[in-house]
Each structure stands twice: as structure tokens, then as C-alpha cells.
């Protein structure tokens, strides 16, 4: 299971991508709840430094795990669609960086620019969720990997009968030993 969430190799279908995304979201929410619980520890009216540091470490660990796993399943889903994950994920990150830079450079446009970035990311997420994979049999024109290979030649019935030897007759009461099939 750990290899499933952290491996960049292979492909992942739509249903497994959706369920993996739900599991990652639950992981992030659980990390946030633990953090809020730890950070809420107050003694004598002032927060203690040790619980706050522990909460910060939990948040950082949960976020880094979420980020790595998210990129992992996105790369596998992008590969299933038939695109190159290196280019697509780089383009998505690039659009996000440009979106933030424009929003900072022109504060008057920041609402519209951030909204455009949000719509782009929502479209990307929906494409990953609903775009049929290259191996989906229900999509029209989908490549079926089994259809590309020719069927193996079938042997005729007499040839098969000649290949199979007749079963050997054992004498009554004969003892079979390990590894000597019938002798």
C-alpha cells in the first residue's frame, strides 16, 4: 500500500485516483486536527513552546507527505491519460507561480488573476478525475493493448492428443514417493 501512494511508476485509473485523493485529503485533515489539538494546550494562560513546536513539526510532516503523494498519484494519472507527467506538472506549477507573481505585481488585478488560477486548477483537477485513460475500454477510440497483439496460433486437436501421453497404470498397492510422480 505504501508503494501505491509513493511510487511515481505505473498508471492509475479514475476510480483509484479519486479514492487516493480522498485518502490524502483525510490525511491532511487528520494532521490539521491533531495540530489544533496540540496547539490548543494552554497552561497558566500562556501557550507552551514545546507543544507549539510539536504541532509545527506535525504540520510540516503531514504537508510534505501530502505534497509528495499528491504529485505521485497525479503523475500516474497523467501517464494513464497518455500525457507526459513531467511537462504537465511543470506547466501546472508554472501557471501557479505566474498567477502569484501577477497578483503581487498588480494588486488591483489580484482578485481576477487569482480567480483565473483557481479556475485553471479546478479544470486540471476535473480533467484528471474525468478524462478517460488510454486503456479504458469504455472510451471511443481507446487503445486496447490486447487488441494490438495477434492471437497465438491454436493447435489442432490431433496434435494436442499426440502431445499428451496416456496416463501410466500403477499396480494396485504401489506407493508413490515425493517427486517421483507415480513410480
Domain extents for the chain? Answer: 2-130
The pLDDT assigned to 100 comes to 83
- Written as nine digits, the cell of 22 is 480522498
Phi, psi of 33 (to 5 degrees): -65, -40
Which spans in the chain are helix H? 2-6, 14-39, 49-81, 85-105, 110-130, 157-163
pLDDT tens-digit map of 98-142: 888 888 887 777 676 677 788 888 899 899 989 888 765 444 444
Q: Which residue has the higher pLDDT, 79 or 159?
A: 79
CA–CA separation, 17 and 15 (whole Å): 5
pLDDT for residue 147 is more than 50:
no
CA separation for the pair 83, 126 (Å, rounded): 15
**DSSP 8-state assignment for residue 181:** T
Overall average pLDDT of the 24-35 stretch: 81
Tens of pLDDT along 52-79?
A: 787 778 788 888 888 888 889 999 999 9
Amino acid at each position: 500500500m505504501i508503494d501505491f501512494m509513493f511510487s511515481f511508476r505505473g498508471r492509475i485509473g479514475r476510480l483509484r485516483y479519486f479514492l487516493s485523493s480522498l485518502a490524502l485529503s483525510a490525511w491532511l485533515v487528520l494532521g490539521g486536527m491533531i495540530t489544533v489539538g496540540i496547539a490548543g494546550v494552554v497552561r497558566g494562560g500562556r501557550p507552551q513552546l514545546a507543544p507549539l513546536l510539536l504541532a509545527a513539526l506535525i504540520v510540516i510532516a503531514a504537508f510534505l507527505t501530502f505534497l509528495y503523494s499528491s504529485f505521485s498519484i497525479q503523475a500516474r494519472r497523467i501517464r494513464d491519460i497518455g500525457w507526459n507527467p513531467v511537462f504537465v506538472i511543470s506547466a501546472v506549477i508554472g501557471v501557479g507561480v505566474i498567477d502569484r507573481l501577477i497578483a503581487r505585481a498588480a494588486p488591483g488585478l489580484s482578485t481576477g488573476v487569482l480567480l483565473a488560477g483557481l479556475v485553471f486548477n479546478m479544470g486540471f483537477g476535473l480533467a484528471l478525475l474525468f478524462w478517460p485513460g488510454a486503456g479504458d475500454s469504455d472510451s471511443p477510440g481507446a487503445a486496447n493493448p490486447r487488441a494490438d497483439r495477434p492471437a497465438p496460433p491454436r493447435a489442432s486437436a490431433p496434435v494436442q492428443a499426440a502431445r499428451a501421453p496416456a496416463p501410466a497404470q500403477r499396480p494396485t498397492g504401489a506407493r508413490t514417493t515425493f517427486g517421483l510422480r507415480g513410480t
